[in-house]
Amino acid sequence: MIEELKELDTLEILENVDLKNYTTFKVSCIAKYFATPKNIEELCFLLDILQQKKMRYKVLGKGSNVVFVNPSFDGVIISLEHFGKMKIEENLITVGAGYSLMKLSFDMASKGYSGLEFASGIPGSVGGSLVNNAGAYKKEIADVVETAKVLMPNQEIKEFTKDELEFCYRSSFLQYKNDYICLEVTFNLEKKDSKEIMELIKTRREKRMDTQPLEYPSAGSVFRNPELESAWKYIDALGFKGKRMGGAEVSRKHANFIINRGNATGHDIKCLILEIKEVVKNAYNIELICEQEFVE
């Protein structure tokens, strides 16, 4: 397979890559292969060969909501880090799926575009954030999306409208289509005073520093908020703050954060998440929904 892929001189394929630096949990997992296609043609070429060889693959954004449970991944990780171009046409901003959502938030603020202030603390990629309808401060990606270009399983590129993406709380149609790959997203933003936007972002960052354990690797909020109350309140009430499973710990600062104390494994994190789910279910008859994806 590697020999066939080398037919494309520019396609970079690395072997035995530790994914520790490609996920926000900073958990070690050795990927057999790690590919970084530079354009759609290379991506399609890669997918063709993987499908012919029936080889497992996983498309990875910034790794902010992914937990690799096992110490190794016997397949190909496809990074879209080179899919990061931007085009601005009046209020419509089209951005590649690999672009950092946090960086986009700051870039737009500096140019006087409002609508992505809520995303200044979300460490995901544009593509991953679209798939999961990332949000904060009662705002979400769905509020500002115009369209998204997606690579279909037959390698046709289709443009989806906001309605066709079927957004709901922390979810979209694409979340259930693992063989659909987001390539780029077009946002509809509003022109405002840049200084006002940056001041709002600064204020929110200061609040996050006070209330969230940003000094430790994590994936942000672990569970979606149920209808009646914030997830952290149930977890806190049950005494989970400081609870450890191996190197994974429920933050003492924010009960809906699980942090890596330095040597956590994906298995540690998964076990701790499942224990919290079970205890909350038994105590309150509430089924907490995990925002993280377990890759085994």
Is 205 an active-site residue?
Answer: no
Task: Report CA-CA distances (Å) from 292 to 15, 168, 220.
Answer: 26, 16, 9
pLDDT by 10-residue block (mean), the chain, 296 residues: 70 93 96 95 92 93 94 96 96 97 96 96 94 94 98 96 96 93 98 95 92 94 93 98 97 97 96 98 97 94
Class of the 2-79 domain?
Answer: alpha beta
At which residue do the structure tokens 């509020």 appear?
143
> In this predicted structure, what is the pLDDT of residue 242?
97
Alpha helix stretches (DSSP H) within 2-77: 2-5, 40-52
- From the list 79, 129, 221, 251, the catalytic residue is 221
Q: Tell me the two tokens of residue 211.
A: 């209330």
pTM over 0.75: yes
Is 56 an active-site residue?
Answer: no
Class of the 214-295 domain?
Answer: alpha beta
The CATH 3.30.43.10 domain(s) of the chain lie at 2-79
The CATH 3.30.465.10 domain(s) of the chain lie at 86-195
Instruction: Please tell me the CATH code under which domain 86-195 is placed.
Output: 3.30.465.10
- From the list 170, 172, 184, 218, the catalytic residue is 170
Is 208 an active-site residue?
Answer: no
> In this predicted structure, what is the pLDDT of residue 3?
73
pLDDT tens, position by position, 56-76: 999 999 999 999 999 999 999
> In this predicted structure, what is the pLDDT of residue 6?
67
Q: Tell me the β-bridge partners of 66.
A: 293
In this structure, the strands spanning 92-96 and 72-79 are unpaired
Strand ranges (E), the chain: 12-18, 30-36, 57-60, 66-68, 72-79, 86-89, 92-96, 113-114, 135-136, 139-140, 145-151, 157-161, 181-188, 190-191, 218-221, 244-245, 248-250, 257-260, 293-295
User: What's the distance, Cα to Cα, between the start and end of the chain in Å?
Assistant: 23
The CATH 3.90.78.10 domain(s) of the chain lie at 214-295
> In this predicted structure, what is the pLDDT of residue 12?
87
- From the list 81, 117, 249, 291, the catalytic residue is 291
